[in-house]
Amino acid sequence: MVTTNTFISETTLFLETLLNTITDPISGKRSDGSKFVMTSYPQRKVMYPIITVKLDDTFVVDSFALGVSHQVTRMQYEIRVWARNVIEKDALTQSALNKLVSGQYPHTTAGKSLNENLFNAQIPTATSDVDELGSGGIKSRLIFVTYDFEIGE
């Protein structure tokens, strides 16, 4: 469960776990040490496709007081789908969007954002393509998701 002292790392891990339920198109071929969902951009050679989850540089989009010792913080995360071709990119993007939406409700089911103290989930902007040039270039798409989290004692 996401708590005040560790809400950044716990939200990142929640999203990683949620997105890891997407079927990996190369699960039988992925080498040891290669992950399908990562919490940062890859620093070494990877096997595509992959999905990365990281706190967006904007971090806190908004914050407002909820009383004397509580406030609500809105965090924005970047989900990036990296694929070998446009068809794979589109399919994985749709799967990620479906997981983000279904990952909210019902709150009585384990693994949902409301159970993690994350509420008011929104996908504030349309997805954006960030494709490398050429037919062999890696194709990627950015998805942004925001969550509100209550910080307090």
Q: Which residues contact 152 (CB under 8 A, 6 or more apart)?
A: 4, 66, 67, 69, 70, 71
Q: Provide, rounded to the nearest whole percent, the portion of the chain with pLDDT above 90.
A: 38
Sorted by where each begins, the domain ranges of the chain are 4-152
Note the CATH architecture for domain 4-152: 2-Layer Sandwich (3.30)
pLDDT of residue 88: 95
Q: Which segment of 59-63, 92-96, 101-105, 135-139 scores lowest on mean pLDDT?
A: 59-63
Q: What is the mean pLDDT of residues 143-150?
A: 87
Helix (H, G, I), strand (E, B) or coil at 132: coil
DSSP states along 20-53: TTSPPTTTTTPPTT--SEESS--SS---S-EEEE
Q: Which residues contact 15 (CB under 8 A, 6 or more apart)?
A: 53, 77, 79, 145
Q: What is the mean pLDDT of residues 146-152?
A: 80
- Cβ-in-10-Å burial (0-12, 13-18, 19+) of 35 comes to middle
The whole-model pTM stands at 0.85
Cα 149 from Cα 7, distance rounded (Å): 8
pLDDT of residue 36: 96
pLDDT digits (tens, 9 = 90+) for 42-84: 888 889 999 999 998 765 545 555 555 567 778 889 999 999 9
